[in-house]
Structure 1
């Protein structure tokens, strides 16, 4: 008898050469910065969040004596693993980031100094890092390899001994003396002009090829295309310079007298999820006399196979239960075959893509239905919009059910109609009525659309949205909060009638509740510029927060300006609602009307809508009009709201206060007997 011993050693000291393949994880995407996101960042030096932006240096305009000789850093609060701790060359994380910068100065201010995108071991800013040091280093530590920093500088002032000119970008490694610099004047970029100018920046790093690329373009709405060629391209192994766990963020400085405001308006970041496998316990298996090795291996394989089949069966059972639950929903529309929707969208081809949101991608589909008229035998061709959920895991199922269980029972002429659904092999799809005129956002901002959305259409659209919102809040058998009112979620049929869509964030309120909180989303649901201020404190959505979003849409439609972008006014940048409120205070609210309309609009209607938009944007939720009043006002059956000339101050907790009639600063919004005379 042959004695066989098998010893299998799985070492706990498994080296990271067997690390898992990096998985790209979207870390965050900030379209605006407000006090609600303050806890997501680490601040040092003269940095802050103000005017919905990351202010790397003081943001004052009028007290210039506070601006010279300042520096600041703002870093995302969580570090990222950028390389693994052994000597495997290729275990370096890739990352992609994009952001919008604004370096503003007044005409009498000499430009200086600039800002930098930064990878650093911490958020601590060195002492005396103002001026030429850009908040990165100082005279004592500049060039020290123990700094462990890599930065892309956007410098607006030339240091004669090492800078090519006043406007340039550079790759900095442990020093403000750039390894590589690229002048910007030849490309038509002025980093700190004496006027408002924003620039989009993309930085891509490939952890395998070790190539870093920097792209740049003028930030102009409605969208900014990433250039095809980078301004800067350099090979750098981050493993040689930064700590394995490092922070991402920004630094900036001002000089004396060279000063400017250094701001970050938007920031997106994706980083490879670079993690070693979990340590595996040492396993010693001894096989004794008379047991053939092949039998042991077969038994192990059989056991693993049974476990796999059991998991497959459990998943299949869960899918069957899920499918059965869907089919039993009262009033559920038609079930589509996945293969039919795949064919209708040309295998979900990019050319069929209509739009994309946080919950999935929407495609145009062309279905060839069976003939209704058997005498002709001609099949009908139907256009549909197919929403393919981007997450096919348990969270994706939650998103899918949240939308399906709400919208399948809603019936209103100004809501997008759900035609059906599909759930096969874990793929989650919803089929909606196709809207031939696309979204309201496209008609307001798409530069390829030569025809400005005229006034009749704008007024009709807002009337339809008000009607839909009134239905959700008051006429449906349960109160529904939409939670994501914005121009991209308002679709237009062939006659420019509004259809409110995208119920991915919508929730039904129980009869004994007046708000809905979903804290597991990890933040305030909705889109910056449309989110009510109280939501940043409560994390709850209410009918009143929907009204705030509607107010933002009203101001957007009338002015042709998006709520998420600052409006320059008297050498400052203001939010859309603050800008309209200032024009109202000065008796010039009509100037907020979209200039592209010229004089082709109804003045009284425009004033009515602008005042309604301000009323819905009241910082105190209890002071906002409710949807029945909104619909009556917008239909012309109720008087225009009387709005105070000064924007009331947001207070928390929310409370209704009474002020004397002489105190115009904090007077509450009421319904007057007629339009305000000064407007």
Structure 2
């Protein structure tokens, strides 16, 4: 028994040792020992081919099992041999990245400049937990690349923390000698991290040369704050409009010492680049092609001049900072088929919304065209958009980016296939009646989104226009709160003020029309009206009971009257014909009245609302002095409301008052 136990311990120890190091002298027979995707493939001779001569593609190759980074044990050493073949001399595409990542799934990553690692929204996120070394052969100004032939150290972003032109130190000549990464010649790179000194060193050399005594790059990094316990190591690559071949000949990794040297005799051969002398006929053909290209260029220039106004947009130098969030107008024009009416999803207080498919990524989006004639405050507004692009919650519509033309802004959102909630609540379409279980799930989802905006993100976000028409439904009928066109960000410690009342009649808290001071409590008031909308299937303003001509104009008054008479369920949506959970319906209607309490201090917070909906807190009784008629329940003077011109009210009986105050930009209150 003792001998067996010792043997088991030795076996386990041997497996653990294998996990800390591996060596590939070529990848022949490694099909099942290497995770590859995209256009990556292993050739019969064992050469790992990451890309081919196809455009706009990505590829990845990873060691199939995660490597373990234990506390106080995160040192590593790795080396690999690579070669980059250009499609033609002096023509280059994008490069290779060595990656340490918590995942091997990069389906959302983009090709071209994003190298198959990130996209416009994921680049620069601390939650990426990615460390990478890029061998880049394109200069991308948006990532502040130093040139088109460099090595860079990247942390969660394609903007390198440190970079240097590709070169190696010749110990014989005692000088640095430049290397051309896309020369088609094999080169070797060594990447070493010392956890004690917290130093990452990158060394480059021609394949035929030994490891130089001086490294090319050295960066002080505390990887314990970046790497997780389980990480994957491997390669990412991508092609753009001009493709390259990217090859890996061999690879070695070690977490307990120096990476094992690769054996040149076992490495696969690279394909030969053939150079032929051009015959006279070939030269004539080339000349004809050049002339044809010149003619085509002239025609293209003429067409471009004629159609310049069609795709004209505003792009100022300061917007380079927000490049990851910027879409070109041409891209959005093509995505929406020229903003055709056939792609129109709806019309709101802020403009028209179109369905689109981004050509480069095939991603479905919704594009909102917002009128924005004033130049004052536009920089702050774009900063606001980029800030909101970082909001991440399962019940929020993701804001992906923007485009700016003279006189309008175009906002790009995730597309929600089931449209807005108000259409299902109020349109009398057969088969569109929402069942109670879906309504209750939607109510909880919107509450969760507001709690995130009010308390759980790095800044407080006031939505300021919570209503059924701003709640969209995804493919699984999950609620997604959208339209942050009225939102304002401010620091948790700062008391915000605005110079305009912003919102929709029927949803505006009483104190807001007097103080012009939005708070999280004014959002709670709007959410209370939203609860009544969903439970009653009625709009906030309008005739509330078809059987009684004298019925109240406001939904909140009518639900309040039903509660006072002891029959609050009378206010429930008649189209449901009583097919709901009575306790839940009663909870929703009473909670709606509580959120609509005329005095702000008497309303619950969104955290308390979520606790009540989840059953972890009890709904308090409505106060006996709760009287909307005497306190000014809607925050609007009825005489004023009735005197408004009919054009001010939309077909739904509500009106969005959408005035952005440029002097109260989020930059004033940002962290």
TM-score, normalised with respect to structure 1: 0.44
